[in-house]
Structure 1
């Protein structure tokens, strides 16, 4: 039971939103038809995170139905569709290809198995889970061990993230780990077409390539460069350019051919913490930075910081489309309550409980705000004004409040606790448990 009436009421209202999103085919992304009436692959799987914390059979059945719908509409090559309209089975092709659909599809099955223990359901879906994993393997087009993602090819579907993207590759690590655990559970032999690297290899590559920490010890930096050169000469060349920024207290959002993004991706970094990609040293730097720059102010949590401004090298003219991605809006620094739920969960994971409770209160407050009434559970909020600007009654805004509530008051993180338990021992051996706080971030 929450110690705040607002928080407790927010939980009740969040449940009502989820009930209104239920269809026989799974969770719609929004309870309003003028919002997102489709069953979106990533949305329905993220909605499942909060739904399973309730223990409600009706919500759990909707999680199952979502997986069945996504399975039914998977392409012959293994692509999990971005969304499906349950009323007419229409599959939209408005957006760029979304790599994260396959990733969340695999993680959704892992979550459902964790909660229900239903091996028969997993076995009946295994061919599609396997096809989803094989399809992902082919998105590593140069066989470097990380996914290459097209521009705007994930949840940031109107934003210039591209190539080796943090968010997608963190989920790729988690999905690869989950896939292997599920395969063991149903006693299947190893795949005849294995990925280029295993989960440990993905974990290592993310940390080598996307965390910038130029040690004041020259030999350490040289050793880092040699590791990158051994894996891929392209990365060795890239890291010379990246090294000019010295260090950052967060993972870079993306890296590409001789270029990189230089801003903090909120969801990507939070998922790095939750999945176990980030060690203690990285986690504290990320969470402290997000607090220092106010990524959860006025409400949790902004998609990125700082926003991309017109004239910046990473600005795109399509950001002006429907005025969506102007600075402090939508993916360009807008506040997403869904991301706020992951932020609170990451704080619980790291043990910053007072900050987690504080943000939970703010999350309840922002979900209460509405354009035309109370308890709007809006899609996204202006990053400066704190006023709702997206569609109302968003399933994942409601669901991630439930997940955050569960994290704060139980200390449990479904899916992510399980992933941490099966983290490769070699990955654990590379971790830095000591937090270096001086300028530059690394050992002196």
Structure 2
């Protein structure tokens, strides 16, 4: 089995980010990151499963336990949990609740049970999952199969996406498919089909079927990839690398369109100095209509300068999923190229595992020793070099 310094350093980071309550977002003692976050914790947990490391897998189990224990009575999964010794601080979101905490939690439980070949683990959390599934139904609001997500409602919490956000629809499909591997429930299978159908009608080009917003769909002129979101105000047409990677992994859209997503994604990564795919592209500039929306969507300090953070920044974590998408389509050489680029980025400043990078200048941004930056290396390395596969 291939082991290199990049993989070893990533495993070390995940160990340093482990706590009795689960994975912390960063090994660095920065208050907001010294918490067990739902999405960060599950992504680190997926890396733990890929690694086969017993201690890391135990930390993943603790992560899921912490999230379940602090589930709100209405079904909401915490965005993050911090243990202060005497008190536990639970957040369900800042300026808005986090929709993806719910779907990542379901994915985490199911992936863990699948890895362990232990359906009783899932049974232990059955009530938690059922609350999550009911809540997701309610969040459709119009009962037409797509989730309606508030601004700031997912990992891109300082970006402009809102309404019918592509990323959240795809995460829901992954969550439902993961759960139905065990449940084998006809109504869930039917729901997966209906959500998939609505994604293909509203997010792919030249689709047949009644659109949510026909006029806005026609104006969006969808071509090479799925746009990042739409709402009653129209479509946001930026390329969302995370969402389009999930679409490829989940096999959404016809084969010609999936090939166009692949070509667009690979070309975009090749054109960037880091050889990584930016999270959203193109960046929103000061003269653009959406700049005011972007500029005001921050609770503390503005970070979304063009080519940085969500506004065109490059994240190892996102590229980890892009690499998995490439592998799912048989693009093994391209996936290895992405892994090498992730490792190069993670190794900056003696393996500081920065949160993200400026896609133009390559300068590091955000928090160092970011756990899910290490998780990207582990997930992709193991999927390339071993027979490891997630339940998709």
Output the TM-score relative to the length of structure 2.
0.93
Choose from 356, 379, 382 the match for 1:403.
379
Q: Which residue of 1 aligns with 2:28?
A: 32
Query: What are the Cα deviations for residues 11-47 of structure 1, in whole angstroms up to 9, with x where unaligned?
Result: 0000000001111111111111216100000111111
Q: Which residue of 1 aligns with 2:18?
A: 22
| CA distance, structure 2, for counterparts of residue 411 and residue 282 of structure 1 | 28
**5 Å matches for 1:212-227?**
213-214=205-206, 224=208, 227=209
Q: Which residue of 2 aligns with 1:354?
A: 333
Which is greater in Rg? Answer: 1
| CA distance, structure 2, for counterparts of residue 196 and residue 118 of structure 1 | 22
Q: Which residue of 2 aligns with 1:228?
A: 210
Choose from 347, 367, 370 the match for 2:346.
367
Q: Does 1:248 align with 2:208?
A: no
| SS of residue matched to 1:362 | helix
Choose from 69, 73, 80 the match for 1:76.
73
Shift of 1:319: 5.3
| CA distance, structure 1, for counterparts of residue 214 and residue 357 of structure 2 | 35
Could you say if the C-alpha distance between residues 49 and 298 of structure 1 is closer, same or farther in structure 2, counting changes exceeding 3 Å? farther
Could you say if the C-alpha distance between residues 270 and 331 of structure 1 is closer, same or farther in structure 2, counting changes exceeding 3 Å? same
Shift of 1:239: 2.6
Shift of 1:296: 7.2
Could you say if the C-alpha distance between residues 359 and 122 of structure 1 is closer, same or farther in structure 2, counting changes exceeding 3 Å? same
RMSD of equivalent CA atoms = 2.0
| CA distance, structure 2, for counterparts of residue 84 and residue 288 of structure 1 | 40
Could you say if the C-alpha distance between residues 390 and 126 of structure 1 is closer, same or farther in structure 2, counting changes exceeding 3 Å? same
Asked if structure 1 preserves the Cα contact closer than 8 Å seen for 2:355 and 2:370, the reply is yes
| CA distance, structure 2, for counterparts of residue 24 and residue 293 of structure 1 | 40
Q: Which residue of 2 aligns with 1:318?
A: 296
Asked if structure 1 preserves the Cα contact closer than 8 Å seen for 2:239 and 2:280, the reply is yes
| CA distance, structure 2, for counterparts of residue 295 and residue 172 of structure 1 | 30
Q: Does 1:55 align with 2:30?
A: no
> Structure 2, unaligned stretches of length 5 or more?
none
Asked if structure 2 preserves the Cα contact closer than 8 Å seen for 1:67 and 1:105, the reply is yes
| CA distance, structure 1, for counterparts of residue 8 and residue 105 of structure 2 | 28
Choose from 189, 199, 204 the match for 1:206.
199
Asked if structure 1 preserves the Cα contact closer than 8 Å seen for 2:45 and 2:60, the reply is yes
Could you say if the C-alpha distance between residues 135 and 366 of structure 1 is closer, same or farther in structure 2, counting changes exceeding 3 Å? same
Choose from 377, 380, 391 the match for 2:356.
380
Could you say if the C-alpha distance between residues 319 and 140 of structure 1 is closer, same or farther in structure 2, counting changes exceeding 3 Å? closer
> Structure 1, unaligned stretches of length 5 or more?
215-220, 230-234, 420-444
Shift of 1:246: 3.4
Output the TM-score relative to the length of structure 1.
0.82
Shift of 1:89: 1.6
Shift of 1:242: 2.3
Q: Which residue of 2 aligns with 1:161?
A: 161
**5 Å matches for 1:33-432?**
33-34=29-30, 36-87=33-84, 88-92=87-91, 93-184=93-184, 198-211=191-204, 213-214=205-206, 224=208, 227-228=209-210, 235=212, 238-294=213-269, 297-299=272-274, 300-315=276-291, 316=293, 317-318=295-296, 322-370=301-349, 374-410=350-386, 412-415=388-391, 419=392
Asked if structure 1 preserves the Cα contact closer than 8 Å seen for 2:265 and 2:277, the reply is no
| SS of residue matched to 2:224 | strand
Could you say if the C-alpha distance between residues 57 and 412 of structure 1 is closer, same or farther in structure 2, counting changes exceeding 3 Å? closer
